[in-house]
Structure 1
């Protein structure tokens, strides 16, 4: 199969093969918010109507995408993108309250940016609310000229395919791209290698190599495999059509859902199933139509589920159905989704006796298509595990929703197809480790295992959120779900869990979302649908804690510590205390230990007045909400007779990946030691500030670390105030700001810095 080099292909298999940053936009941008509702948002028992997506007609969708295309230059400018960057509108959804969420891909100097996807959020009135970015880094490369040739990239990629066990690999395409999926954006080659995996599954390996060094940056499998059959659902009604005197497995009421017979082949579309009397199959695998009925029925159920529950009109949300192919190969024990053919493909299992066409397998494969046309979670690392889990989650949701007595809903994956010949399912959602390979909870190395097993924690989250922890029986199946922290999780219900995951997938997740990002996305979705700190929100968060992702949510009042304060005696001053409660209603503020002359406003938390007495006070602020829950914070407040500032405004160049740069300040005229709250204000101009390590050097040579390097912090410049306990240092003498660039490729200078005693 030839793949177009102009698009990223997504496909998926159910069985393992051997082989939000949310940022504020300028008010001029037509975007919407990825930030949570304000603290104290109303708690609702049912989904909030404004956050529910509505079905768009093809004309409405086309109009919104046309508007996005026409305004893409303005949007790019509002997002602060560089002059060489361009946006390409990819898809759009709309909420009941009129909010619009538009997904974009990016280019740099005309080159595709892999990992540069983002979602722009627009309020109903067109005002800017926010953007969810996949890549935090500024997209730029020094040159678009590649030191390594396309042929060398092909050769390397072919070697990788052979190492993965691919048979007859062939490099179908290679294109120059900018890789922004992780770390610093890099000029790269993306090579797509076709072939056949060891088990007969088509292989479509994407290999990303550095165009300067030739080193591998990333790789992922483009064909995602799965399982399913309708030999298992009994007598069912399926959508067909009459063509002349012959019936076809062609359902015009569901976007043209068609099912084809490959008859043991492994390429092409196959032959559309036809029948003289519109009575299909006999429930036995020996009848070729039986597997066709199962696949057709599973696709029909999945279409109806997404449309009726999530207002999604087909995989691409455009009213056009994918198609199904059954009887792939000979005794092929797998199934897969392929975005290139926009189709699901099913093998017939061991001895061609158990086709992989059950309800959950069909829903699993179709959901890979939905993921491909929404967040497009990269099929590798943690995002790959989330991709697989998304298909398992909606496979379970569809199976429960179908309410078929022959295949009742459960939290088992592939239980009907009996892959292992012992009656056991492929995967367990209540305790994924029961399959011997999947993981129950997140850990730092989980991105390094097969995506079918790294999916375990997200599957476990869905079970915990749906049913809660502990032992229970659902539809006759016994479950016993533990938590990683040993604490119980209270269920929010399966429908709520599925709606939260769907909104997170379609509105807030991006291609490289990891487990931490999935928690953020789902909690944002829970806030949208049910209210921030609602019971549903809290229990969804606690389900994440139950798989070792993020903390438990404790209801109550939080007061932000403002840090040490230093102000002048007899000079008016003010400080706004920041606090919020997980409960609705106003807060009441009190304070003890304030310097003489200062008071706190009980309603607003504003401390103001004129301090009249020199000295240091230990201040404690308490905030109480309408339920009498309280939160406190303590800090010091130093009232002085004079505040002395010393500053150096001379520019000092910072060598690229070289020796440290020093900028001195000579402090004179002070007595005694420096304060415990010495303030250091730093203004550094430098691209990719994560390259920088910054220290304050005292006159005796002692170093006080202000900032560590961070290879993922791609923002420009450092404009920050640091507080240092320098009370052991003599105040007078030469203090120095030490700045070292520890990585190559980015440059800058110390613009200015100052010390406040």
Structure 2
């Protein structure tokens, strides 16, 4: 491992799917260097290693670490072997209790921001680099910085895309900026990033980011920057609020968080809630103070949760509170976070009778802010699903932490606000598909759907990790969580699950992390906290396998009927090499293949974003399994489900693999078909 000098001394997201938006499924994953030293021992009693838990840094301590990292960034870049045109920009620093420091950097190239070039350096107390996690493993070199497309052309394209999605008054928020784009597999390219404002189709503010190739004018990517997601409250009963002595909704004990009344407006800050006494609202939606009290209370609970459980003082770790705005628009059925204002905003729901200000919604929106200053998961594709799931996950964590008798902890999202008007939650973590749109398990192409629905596998994973599979009742709510492989999962409890997810978010994941990268990061964290081979680390692997991300530890597979497997290694030549195949000959199966043909793929290959993987039926029909997704993640070890009911079962089935980009190689380790 390399040694570096010791340093000891705004995107947005909404709660629900809003206007239709193009989502791109090609993502660059996250790769981590191995940690130095031997694997940790399993701790007695399933206790987390206290040294690996986040340190409770004061804002001043965090500032000192950032300044030290900034002073050393040139030496760090040199130690990491970065090129002469590359520079590091410190974005965040977190520290473990044992002194291990995790510094998150952005990169520039030739003075231009590099989108997707972020990385995390883990460093021991002695200044030794123990791990490096990169959002993209592509080499940042030989980028031609001369544009042939004009900024005006890029801006026109971006505004046109927003208008086509139904945006109103769409216009560029600022002149397109030159960037280097490397958030997808392949070589980095010069591009423009344009941010389009106005309003989305449903009235949500628009911050559509569009990346345009500065050489060809082609659209490379787009994502939405708005993340859609004593007080007498409507949802939590009578609660104590942090307020200023002058009777305003200003929480002086929590970074001066303030709550404002937009009074049905859609712009500006609004008016700070103030009164002649310290009583806020009457528990009904008709009293405008009630929604203010709910939002203020939810923000306080979320602040306390992150401070008391994870040692983080405020969303940014700097002790500064975000602010809240309530009564946005007229009958606006959504809530959202915006990095640009560092604030949460809440609508009043259908008929202005169900403000979206419950505990879990407040925690959901504030967590979008946390994600934006840590992993900064791009709000599109698989990383967007993980971003949205992270907000749902910590919404549940805050609810359980709050222990409010009027709004008990559960694994339901938005159960109090009744958006559908039929008394059902917005999302279900135990079985996401119950909402009619979310997905229970990962599949190739999940990155192409709305992030609120591609969040399903991560939400499902977290529920399984916390509570396990099957029927059970928690706080009066009955759940029945299935698994994609038919095998059970035993939970480890939400207290442990939330520690694992938070540490992965803040120390392992980058802006382009996908589901494979999320699995890698959470397994690594579980091993750091509880030991390699511990029940907790194994449970993480079981829970991911149960949502079709990776396999069961020890090679556990679902109950099977007939299995046909080829375990002979087949080398995959580097690009521009030809495709290679592994063949299994199916015999003795009557009729056609099933609609749920199980295809087990085990490929050992660095940078799986290079690969195209297809299942080829005996008659030559092609079923794509993997199309250059996964970015810098290593190895494909997945079980895919294919509807092959139109194919005769018996015959020669082939797994076809081709490497489409240079520098990385590998081999097909095994290929298996399972007929139920």
SS state at 1:241 partner: coil
Write out per-residue CA displacement over residues 524-569 of structure 1, whole angstroms, 9 at most, x where no aligned residue. Answer: 111111111101110111010110001111299xxxxxxxxxxxxx
SS in 1 for 2:170: strand
Which deviations, in whole Å up to 9, do the C-alpha atoms of 1:614-652 show, x marking residues without a partner?
Answer: xxxxxxxxxxxxxxxxxxx999xxxxxxxxxxxxxxxxx
SS in 1 for 2:148: coil
| Residues 22 and 130, structure 1, Cα contact 8 Å, conserved in 2 | no
Match of 2:382 in 1: 382
Which residue of structure 1 aligns with residue 11 of structure 2? Answer: 10
Give the corresponding residue for 2:205.
Answer: 202
C-alpha change, 1:61 and 1:198, in structure 2 (3 Å) is same
Work out which structure has the larger RCO, using CA pairs closer than 8 Å and 6 or more positions apart in sequence.
2
For residue 308 of structure 2, what is the aligned residue in structure 1?
308
Residues 403-442 of structure 1: matches in 2 within 5 Å? 403-442=403-442
Q: Is 2:51 aligned against 1:50?
A: yes
Runs of 4+ in 1 over 2 A off after TM superposition: 18-24, 34-44, 656-659, 688-693, 709-715, 740-743
Q: Which residue of 2 aligns with 1:147?
A: 148
Question: Higher strand share goes to which structure?
Answer: 1
Hey, what's the Cα distance between the residues in 2 that align with 1:75 and 1:120? Answer: 9
Q: 1:41 to 1:189 in 2, by over 3 A?
A: same
The match for 2:538 is 538
Q: State the shift of 1:689 in Å.
A: 13
The 3 A distance-change label for structure 1 pair 217 and 289 is same
Equivalent residue number for residue 586 of structure 2: none
Structure 1 equivalent of residue 347 of structure 2: 347
Matches within 5 A, 1:271-670: 271-554=271-554
**Residue 232, structure 1, aligned to residue 235, structure 2:** yes
CA RMSD of aligned residues (A): 2.8
Report the Cα offset of residue 690 of structure 1.
Answer: 9.9
Distance change >3 Å, CA 454–CA 657, structure 1 → 2: closer
- Which residue among 191, 194, 199 is the counterpart of 1:191? 194
Aligned equivalents of 2:374, 2:305: Cα separation in 1 = 17
Structure 1 23/483 Cα, relative in aligned 2: closer, same or farther at 3 Å?
A: closer
8 Å Cα contact 1:492/1:540 also seen in 2: no
Are the structure 2 counterparts of residues 214 and 274 from structure 1 closer, same or farther at C-alpha, using a change threshold of 3 Å? same
1:143 is displaced (CA, Å) by 1.3
Task: Name the SS for the 1:462 alignment partner.
Answer: helix
Q: Secondary structure at the match of 1:384?
A: helix
Pairs aligned (count): 560
SS of the equivalent of 1:318 reads coil
Deviations 1:101-144 (A, max 9, x none): 00000000000000000000000111121211111101124310
Alpha-carbon offset, residue 293 of structure 1: 0.2
Task: Look at both structures and tell me which one has the larger radius of gyration over its CA atoms.
Answer: 1
The match for 2:669 is none
- The CA deviation at 1:168 is 0.8
What is the TM-score normalised by the length of structure 2?
0.79
Partners of 1:634 and 1:199 in 2: how far apart? Answer: 54
Output the CA distance in 1 between the equivalents of 2:608 and 2:463. 41
Q: Secondary structure at the match of 1:419?
A: coil
In the aligned structure 1, how far is the partner of 2:291 from the partner of 2:63? 36
Structure 2: gaps (5+ residues): 1-9, 21-28, 557-566, 570-574, 579-606, 613-626, 634-657, 664-676
Contact 2:224 2:379 in 1 (8 A): yes
Shift of 1:77: 1.2
| Cα distance in 1, alignment partners of residues 252 and 522 from structure 2 | 34
CA contact (8 A) 1:335 1:346 kept: yes
Aligned partners of 2:99 and 2:38: how far apart in 1?
19
2:179 counterpart of 1:177: yes
Unaligned runs of 5+ in 1: 1-8, 25-33, 557-632, 636-655, 660-687, 694-708, 716-739, 748-757
- Do the aligned residues in 2 keep the contact of 1:519 with 1:549 (CA within 8 Å)? yes
* Alpha-carbon separation, structure 2, partners of 1:692 and 1:480: 37
Distance (whole Å) between structure 2 residues aligned to residue 522 and residue 691 of structure 1: 24
Secondary structure at the aligned position of 2:207 is classed as: strand
Give per-residue Cα distances to partners, 1:34-75, cap 9 Å, x unaligned.
538734723341111110111222222222111111111111
TM-score (ref. length: structure 1):
0.71
Q: For residues 439 and 519 of structure 1, what CA distance do their matches in structure 2 show?
A: 17
Question: Would the aligned equivalents of 1:137 and 1:712 in 2 still touch at CA under 8 Å?
Answer: no
Alignment match, 1:569: none
Change (3 A) 1:267 1:485: same
> 2:660, 2:456 → 1: CA distance?
38
Deviation for aligned residue 1:451: 0.2
